Chain A
Amino acid sequence: MSVVWERRRTALRSGWREFTAQRSGVAGLVVLGVAVAVAVLGPLLTGASALDVTRVEAAAWEPPGPGHWLGTDHTGRSVALLVLNGTGASMLVGLTAAALSVAIGTLVGIASGHFRGWPASALMRVTDFFLVVPQLVLAIALSAVLPRGLGTIVLAIGLTSWPATARVVRAQTLAVEARPYVERAHALGGGHLHVIAHHVVPAVLPLVLVNTTLAVASSIVSESTLAFLGLGDPTHLSWGTLLHQAQLFGAVSKEAWWFLLPPGLGIMGLVLAFTLVGRALETVINPRLRS
């Protein structure tokens, strides 16, 4: 056992070296670190009263200037504070939705790759179906019929975005199970559980990690889209909800660019950071991508 762990630790160390060799991945990681800090510290810094519509003193639609360095929204709240506060909601939904989606995808992928017969092919059919059907349409439908809230958005994204992961995990499962050492494990009497836990899962895990990072990126975009369409949680102002309000209260016709730019740039930065980290990880586990 200890030999195995020693080997894994060495692999991890060389993987980390490979990762840090890619500047874009490291840049993404730094952005993520800053975003997490902002998400945690943001609500502590602002306090509840600053965002209470009934207690603001500034005028509505004030352009950036002293006092409000990012201007104010349609109720006179500070855009800077709104965006700081929205970081947490956007990240939370992105992370949990991605975790749900990758968990379902991994389970379905391993099950349909490991087992034979009609249940596996039925599972594959379902995966292909959800891969093709427009994800946003399903997510809209789900969040329209369930009660509004962050939980609903997480469910709507997680339950509709797993097929891509399932496809990748299944392919990897099939590849691993074709190896002689798995045949040996079978011959020595290893059951389903043993083969899955000791051979399939460790081989699939790096891929799952990459997929999770990329899934967080797309979940954040999905969340902002659902929120923009008015399906967000009105009590948790995520970046998407802010943009929805900007659209609703005519930020475009008032040319209030200061209310539009910061939340959008936040989404873009966070998504880009997760994508860059994901692509860097992909290069680490897939040597063919290295130049």
Chain B
Amino acid sequence: MRIAGKLLGAGVSLGMIVVLGFLLFRVIPGDPVVSWARGRPVTPEMLASMRSSYGLDKPLFVQFLSYAGGLLHGDMGQSFSYNRPVLDVIGERVGPTLLLVGTSTVIAVILGLWLGIRSAWRRASTFDRVSTSVALALWSTPTFWLGMLLMIATGDLFPSRGMRDTDTAPDFVSQSLDVAHHLVLPSVTFVAVVYAQYQLVMRSSMLEEMHAPYLTTARAKGLRDDLVRRRHAVPNALLPAVTLVFLHLGLVVAGAITTETVFTWPGLGLLFYDALSGLDLPLLQGLLVVTAGAVVVMNLLADLLYGVLDPRVRAA
């Protein structure tokens, strides 16, 4: 019953994303062809033919139906600037983003949770004060700015543009090493900005558990401090932290957009920036639907997982 409700909720959310994509890119901007053509040498005839080839001369209702119908078939229209199907353009960029975001998120979650647990357990200690202040400062830092500073600070130590050099030997090992070398700066930037939220959330979640009676019981049993923390406090504090981590997935998307823009990492985030600078509305629309849809699906997975992890959720 709970699962059915969650599935239905996610379905409604996906539907709302589709409607939102239509409202934002077909209704608000008026004529997308005109806004794309601003500053480009085009004749009225070309505009008219573009309009009819994109179906923009039909009533909005008809346009919505064909847009939604196309989405169901995996058709998101043609990109203005790439002159290719939007889904193909997006598909090529998924890999690099998954590599960057995946590596960095794993590092950030481990680092953040560890620091959060430590600083809550030794509340008001020097470790707590220093690590919380650092987290707050990094949390207030714009991602892209940190990236630019890192580039200047490290000089030629790490490559700062793209994902691989053109003159690297084609064998697998040297290619992977090259990509890893390029990955260093973007992922350091990403981790620095993202880990803070995990630390702060985990810290406050641990603090909520600190005075729980079951911890007194555990200590009364004669357990070592270390075991009380690892076996009793952390598992309970982890659950709310995990939910919040998934709720903040949107921030991960934001981090990907800015990090990839600064380091010209050829992923979805850079594609976002390129579509934005070229005012490629069909591509932007596709990116909105794909990224927002991905976040909704990830949240659904988290919700289902949460039910498996915590019996109290199943009962509710």
Residues of A within 8 A of B (CB): 125-126, 128-129, 131-138, 140-142, 144-146, 217, 221, 224-225, 228-231, 240, 243, 246-247, 251-252, 255, 257, 260-261, 263-264, 267-268, 271-272, 275-276, 291
Residues of chain A within 8 A of B12, CB atoms compared: 125, 129
CB distance from A230 to the nearest CB of B (A): 6
- Assess the B247–A131 pair: CB atoms within 8 A: yes
**A285 vs B232: C-alpha distance in the bound complex, in angstroms?**
30
Residues of chain A within 8 A of B139, CB atoms compared: 275
**A271 vs B137: C-alpha distance in the bound complex, in angstroms?**
9
CB distance from A163 to the nearest CB of B (A): 10
**A252 vs B156: C-alpha distance in the bound complex, in angstroms?**
12
Residues of chain B within 8 A of A268, CB atoms compared: 137, 140-142, 145
Residues of chain A within 8 A of B25, CB atoms compared: 141, 145
**A275 vs B287: C-alpha distance in the bound complex, in angstroms?**
32
Q: For the complex, is B234 an interface residue (Cβ under 8 Å from A)?
A: no
**A109 vs B28: C-alpha distance in the bound complex, in angstroms?**
27
User: Most chain-A Cβ atoms within 10 A of its Cβ — which of B146, B257, B287?
Assistant: B257
- Assess the A261–B149 pair: CB atoms within 8 A: yes
Evaluate whether A136 and B276 lie within 8 angstroms (CB atoms) in the complex, with A129-B16, A275-B139 already known.
Answer: no
CB distance from B203 to the nearest CB of A (A): 12
Closest to A251 in B: B148
- Assess the B250–A246 pair: CB atoms within 8 A: no
Contact of A137 among B151, B279, B292 (CB under 8 A): B292
Closest to A240 in B: B142
CB distance from A247 to the nearest CB of B (A): 7
**A252 vs B17: C-alpha distance in the bound complex, in angstroms?**
37
Evaluate whether A255 and B152 lie within 8 angstroms (CB atoms) in the complex, with A125-B9, A131-B247, A146-B28 already known.
Answer: yes
Instruction: Produce 1/0 per residue, B246-284, CB < 8 A to A.
Output: 010111011001100110000000001100110101001
- Assess the A291–B124 pair: CB atoms within 8 A: yes
Q: Other than the known A145-B25, A264-B142, what 14 A-B pairs have Cβ atoms closer than 8 Å?
A: A131-B247, A132-B13, A132-B295, A133-B296, A136-B250, A136-B254, A137-B254, A138-B292, A145-B281, A225-B144, A243-B145, A255-B152, A264-B146, A268-B141
Closest to A164 in B: B247
User: Most chain-B Cβ atoms within 10 A of its Cβ — which of A128, A132, A252?
Assistant: A132
- Assess the A264–B145 pair: CB atoms within 8 A: yes
**A126 vs B253: C-alpha distance in the bound complex, in angstroms?**
20
Residues of chain A within 8 A of B281, CB atoms compared: 144-145
CB distance from B190 to the nearest CB of A (A): 14
CB distance from A196 to the nearest CB of B (A): 28
- Assess the B276–A144 pair: CB atoms within 8 A: yes
Contact of B295 among A134, A229, A231, A261 (CB under 8 A): A134
- Assess the B24–A142 pair: CB atoms within 8 A: yes
Residues of chain B within 8 A of A247, CB atoms compared: 144, 148, 262
Q: For the complex, is B56 an interface residue (Cβ under 8 Å from A)?
A: no
Residues of chain A within 8 A of B251, CB atoms compared: 134
CB distance from A286 to the nearest CB of B (A): 11
**A217 vs B140: C-alpha distance in the bound complex, in angstroms?**
8
- Assess the B276–A231 pair: CB atoms within 8 A: yes
Residues of chain B within 8 A of A231, CB atoms compared: 276
CB distance from B17 to the nearest CB of A (A): 7
